[in-house]
Amino acid sequence: MKMQQLEYIIAIAQAGSITAAAKNLYQAQPNISIALKELETEIGMQIFWRTPNGMILTPEGEEFLVRAKDIVESMHGLEADYTNRVEEGITLRISAVRSAYIAGVLGDWVNELDKDDKLSLRFYETNTNKAIDDVNSGKSDIGIIRIPESQYDVYIEQMSSRRFFIRPLISFMMQPVMSTEHPLADREEVSLADLENYPEIVHADDEMKSFERNYIDCECEAKNLKRIYVQDNGSKMIFLQKITDSYMWAAPGSGNMPKGKSAITSVKCSDAVMRTVDIMICKKSSENNRPVKVCMDYLSERCANLAGTIPFPENIAKDVVIPQELDN
């Protein structure tokens, strides 16, 4: 039995199919199928039923999944505590939603560190659910997630059940980002109707599809039939520069590419009325860890004055303290 096989089982259970699991793990589908078959043969037990609607856990498989998750999370925790340690320096791993402002502020933080300090920083661009899983498993020390304000209470309950420390980072309305050569780039404000005839760059992430209207206006029906799905953030920016009449939705601070030909800018959208919040999370046990605390404090201070952000609504506290009973 190998750790990778257990990780495959978890991925299949989460995705509902081997095909989707392979896509999420950036693995070839046959590799995962073979690994699953070998594991089932080794333990003499069927973990999944193969159905026309996907992979469904057998009763024995459900019990196996629980134990597999415990093992994988424990191993990630051990790796986090005992590998890649930097003596008298900073070791930090961050999983964050894809957003240019996050990388920009982290870059500023690194520049301000003592040049004599040793540094090991691992930065993973991912989605909200994966960032939560990374922090929960110990793969990352800090997670930065993005949710519609309407989902805030749901996520706070979920985070509290996992003994997370939560600090809201910024609150904003999503903005269209485009090339300065775009026909709408000189407008002070645009509407969804203005945008519908132009290609939209969309991140190829199933999680985002369910939220995309909630990030803008859940009552507005999407009419844009021109969409380009892209997997990584760097390629999205290149597409925006090359396809000069395209655009994408982003947080404030994403339209700050160098000035000149094919520079990137952002404009306000009158139909973007749904508030979005980016939130920092870490394990409750890590909130006083020096590198974690220093980094979170810096991000919080710098992002508070980020252009385009708006004050947090009253129902969102600056810091959410885990209920005392969860620590018992």
What tens digit of pLDDT does each residue of 212-226 get?
A: 555 676 565 556 678
Q: How many CA atoms lie within 13 A of 315 on its CB side?
A: 9
256: pLDDT strictly greater than 60: no
130: pLDDT strictly greater than 90: no
Q: Does 287 lie in the same domain as 251?
A: no
Q: Does 180 lie in the same domain as 249?
A: yes
Q: How many domains does the chain have?
A: 3
Q: Which residue has the tokens 């990374």?
A: 134
Q: Does 259 lie in the same domain as 123?
A: no
Q: What number is the average pLDDT over the span 296-311?
A: 85
Q: What is the pLDDT of residue 223?
A: 64
CATH of residue 250's domain is 3.40.190.10
Q: Does 61 lie in the same domain as 11?
A: yes
Q: What is the pLDDT of residue 246?
A: 94
Q: What is the pLDDT of residue 222?
A: 55
Comparison of pLDDT for 128 and 255, the residue scoring more: 128
Q: Does 146 lie in the same domain as 121?
A: yes
Q: Does 121 lie in the same domain as 95?
A: yes
| DSSP-derived secondary structure letter, 175 | E
268: pLDDT strictly greater than 80: yes
Q: Does 67 lie in the same domain as 102?
A: no
Condensed to tens digits (0 to 9), the pLDDT of residues 221-253 reads 556 678 888 877 778 888 988 999 999 988 876
Compute the C-alpha angle 93/294/303, nearest 5°.
90
Q: What number is the average pLDDT over the span 317-327?
A: 46
Given a contact cutoff of 8 angstroms between Cβ atoms, the answer to whether 56 and 67 are in contact is: no
Q: What is the pLDDT of residue 263?
A: 85
Q: What is the pLDDT of residue 109?
A: 92
Q: 75 lies in which domain range?
A: 3-82
What tokens does 279 get? 């939130």
Q: What is the pLDDT of residue 255?
A: 52
Q: What is the pLDDT of residue 76?
A: 67
Q: What is the pLDDT of residue 124?
A: 92
Could you say which of 225, 243, 269 is where a domain stops? 269
Q: What is the pLDDT of residue 214?
A: 59
Confidence of residue 137 (pLDDT cuts 50, 70, 90): confident
Q: What is the pLDDT of residue 244?
A: 92
Comparison of pLDDT for 246 and 20, the residue scoring more: 246
Q: What number is the average pLDDT over the span 46-71?
A: 87
Q: What's the helix, strand, coil split of the chain in %, to 5?
A: 40, 25, 35
Q: What number is the average pLDDT over the span 156-161?
A: 73
* Whole-number Å distance between alpha carbons of 287 and 318: 14
Q: Does 298 lie in the same domain as 284?
A: yes
Comparison of pLDDT for 305 and 292, the residue scoring more: 292
Q: Which residue has the tokens 């979920």?
A: 158
Q: Does 264 lie in the same domain as 202?
A: yes
143: pLDDT strictly greater than 90: yes
Q: Is the pTM of this model over 0.75?
A: no
29: pLDDT strictly greater than 60: yes
